[in-house]
C-alpha cells in the first residue's frame, strides 16, 4: 500500500518545486500574519507550507502537462497558467479562509503573484526541454 502511494506521489508531485514553494510561501505567510502573534503566524505558515507541498507540487506537474498537451504554445502556456494557477489561488484562499489564519486575503496574495509568474516560467521551460529532447534524439529511419 505504501509503495503504491509513493508511486502515485512520485508521478504527480514535483518534489523540488514542492519543497521550494513550501519554504518560500510558508515564510511569507508567517511574516504576513506575525502581527497577530507567533502562534497565529505559525499556524498560518504551517497550513500554507503543508498545502503548498502537496497541492503546489501537484499543480506544477499539472501546469507542465497542460503546457505540453496543447498546441500552439501561445495557447498552451496561458492555459496552464489559468488552469493550474487559478486552482492554486482558489484553493489557497480556501485553506486560509478556514479557521486559524488572521489575514486570509493577504496570505493568498503571494500565491496570486508567484503562481502566475512561476507557472509561466515552468510551462515555457517544459516546452523548451521537450523541444531540445526532440531535436537531440536520433531520428528514426524512414
Mean of the per-residue pLDDT values of the chain: 86
Q: Is residue 83 part of a domain?
A: yes
Rounded to an integer, the average pLDDT of 46-50 is 92
Q: Is residue 52 part of a domain?
A: yes
Residue (of 128, 129, 131, 88) closest to 110 by Cα position: 88
Q: Which of 41-50, 72-81, 87-96, 119-128 has the lowest mean pLDDT?
A: 72-81
Give me the phi and psi of 72, to 5 degrees please.
-80, 175
How far is residue 22's CA from residue 32's CA, in Å, rounded to a whole number? 15
pLDDT at 105: 92
Q: Is residue 6 part of a domain?
A: no
Report whether pLDDT(140) > 60.
no
Number of domains present in the structure of the chain: 1
Q: Is residue 65 part of a domain?
A: yes
C-alpha distances in angstroms, 64 versus 55, 84, 97? 14, 9, 28
- Which range of residues forms the domain containing residue 89? 12-132
- For residue 117, what pLDDT band results from cuts at 50, 70 and 90? confident
96 Cβ partners below 8 Å, 6+ apart?
29, 44, 47, 48, 103, 104, 105, 107, 108
Report whether pLDDT(139) > 70.
no
Cell of 115: 503562481
Q: Is residue 28 part of a domain?
A: yes
Amino acid at each position: 500500500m505504501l509503495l503504491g502511494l509513493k508511486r502515485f506521489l512520485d508521478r504527480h508531485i514535483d518534489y523540488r518545486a514542492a519543497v521550494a514553494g513550501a519554504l518560500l510561501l510558508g515564510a511569507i505567510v508567517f511574516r504576513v500574519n506575525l502581527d497577530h502573534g507567533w502562534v497565529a503566524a505559525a499556524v498560518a505558515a504551517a497550513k500554507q507550507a503543508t498545502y503548498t507541498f502537496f497541492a503546489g507540487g501537484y499543480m506544477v506537474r499539472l501546469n507542465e502537462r497542460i503546457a505540453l498537451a496543447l498546441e500552439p504554445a501561445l495557447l498552451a502556456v496561458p492555459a496552464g497558467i489559468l488552469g493550474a494557477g487559478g486552482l492554486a489561488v482558489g484553493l489557497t484562499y480556501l485553506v486560509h479562509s478556514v479557521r486559524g489564519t488572521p489575514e486570509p486575503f493577504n496570505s493568498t496574495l503571494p500565491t496570486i503573484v508567484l503562481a502566475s509568474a512561476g507557472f509561466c516560467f515552468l510551462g515555457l521551460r517544459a516546452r523548451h526541454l521537450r523541444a531540445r529532447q526532440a531535436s537531440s534524439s536520433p531520428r528514426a529511419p524512414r
